[in-house]
Amino acid sequence: MKAAVYYQGGGPEVLRYEDVADPVLRPRHVLVRVHAVSIEGGDVLARAAGPAGPAPYCGGYLAAGEIIEVGAEVTDRHVGQRVTTADNGGSHAALRSVHASSAWPIPDDMSMITGACIPIPFGTADDSLFEFGRLRAGESVLIHAGASGTGLAGIQLAKRAGATVYATASSGERLERLKDYGLDHGINYTEVDFEEAMRALTNGRGPDLIVDSVGGRNLEKSLSCAAYRGRIVAMGGVGRDTYQPRVSVIAGQNKTFVSYYQGAELMYNGLRARANVQRLIEEVGRGELQVVVDRTFPLSAADQAHAYIESRQAFGRVVLIPDGLEE
């Protein structure tokens, strides 16, 4: 099969489009012909760090497609079923093999592109806001990186829940576009300090909840910025800032700090987490939530797609389509 692989860590240029061996179908796995790949922030970070297994290594978390074979012990998935899948690698390819529990059925009328973009961004946003962030109607929430896939999902979910929604982004144009998805107040972090801006917008109080996908110094300021008894949920760390934030800045404020990772929740609390992702897929299918796709690239141009993500121009998801396939 064809795949975008790498032999060492580095920039987007390390990705190569090559023929590699087809994935092995295990007894509890399904083999999926990939139709669309949603590139996650973690995919970019993992590529930069280097192969997580033998080279040539095929990375990537999310892909949607059609099941073409099921393992001997699989009873709840079938050949021909349309699914979206999540795993710790193997999405940047024409075929992937994943555990059946990590393949969620998608509606027949949902595009593969839309389906590919749901499990991690929407699952992470929903858990960060509600399961771990405990957001309630009438509260305020600040969502960092509002124009990212997870940010856009979070803005929609928080607004639907009756919260006042703040978000950061790198331009006024992006912030203006985010209003279509429920943003109440935007902060251009390239022009103003978000902590000072949030205190001004909340009369010195700070938001009840902050969802921080950036990490580093940004996270330290989030810890400081949240309201008394506020909650801060850190996830992702896509900002590439290796600075270790001082948790001591929340001392005396009775705040709650949670470090969230969806992979751990799927592993240790899988029944709940997988059911939650399936619910979100169905809500997107009914038009209650929207997947926003900025641009698609052929799988053979995965290096260009990764470079585009790293340029921070994208508004929403960037998707790869295996060469020769069309929606």
Q: Which of 58-62, 104-108, 238-242 has the lowest mean pLDDT?
A: 238-242
State how many domains the chain has. Answer: 2
Q: Residue 241 maps to which CATH number?
A: 3.40.50.720
For 128-166, how does the pLDDT look when each residue is reduced to its tens digit (9 = 90+)? Answer: 999 999 999 999 999 999 999 999 999 999 999 999 999
**pLDDT (average), residues 176-202:** 97
Is 195 found in the same domain as 90? no
**Predicted local distance difference test score (pLDDT) of residue 242:** 84
Is 124 found in the same domain as 69? no
**Predicted local distance difference test score (pLDDT) of residue 236:** 79
**Predicted local distance difference test score (pLDDT) of residue 325:** 81
Q: Could you tell me the residue range of the domain that residue 103 belongs to?
A: 2-117+291-321
Kindly tell me if the per-residue pLDDT of 18 is higher than 70: yes
- Residue 278 — very low, low, confident or very high, per pLDDT cuts 50/70/90? very high
pTM: 0.96
**Predicted local distance difference test score (pLDDT) of residue 327:** 47
Is 304 found in the same domain as 202? no
**Predicted local distance difference test score (pLDDT) of residue 326:** 57
- Give me the percent of the chain exceeding a pLDDT of 70: 98
Is 227 found in the same domain as 301? no
Residue from 218, 205, 235 nearest 40 by CA: 235
Is 106 found in the same domain as 221? no
Is 250 found in the same domain as 166? yes
141 in Cβ contact with 208 (< 8 Å): yes
Q: Residue 315 maps to which CATH number?
A: 3.90.180.10
Is the residue at 23 inside a domain?
yes
Q: Name residues whose C-beta falls within 8 Å of residue 175's C-beta, 6 or more positions apart in sequence.
A: 146, 167, 169, 183, 186, 187, 188
For 190-248, how does the pLDDT look when each residue is reduced to its tens digit (9 = 90+)? Answer: 999 999 999 999 999 999 999 999 999 999 999 999 999 999 999 976 667 888 999 99
Is 241 found in the same domain as 127? yes
Which tokens sit at 35? 């139709």
212 in Cβ contact with 193 (< 8 Å): no
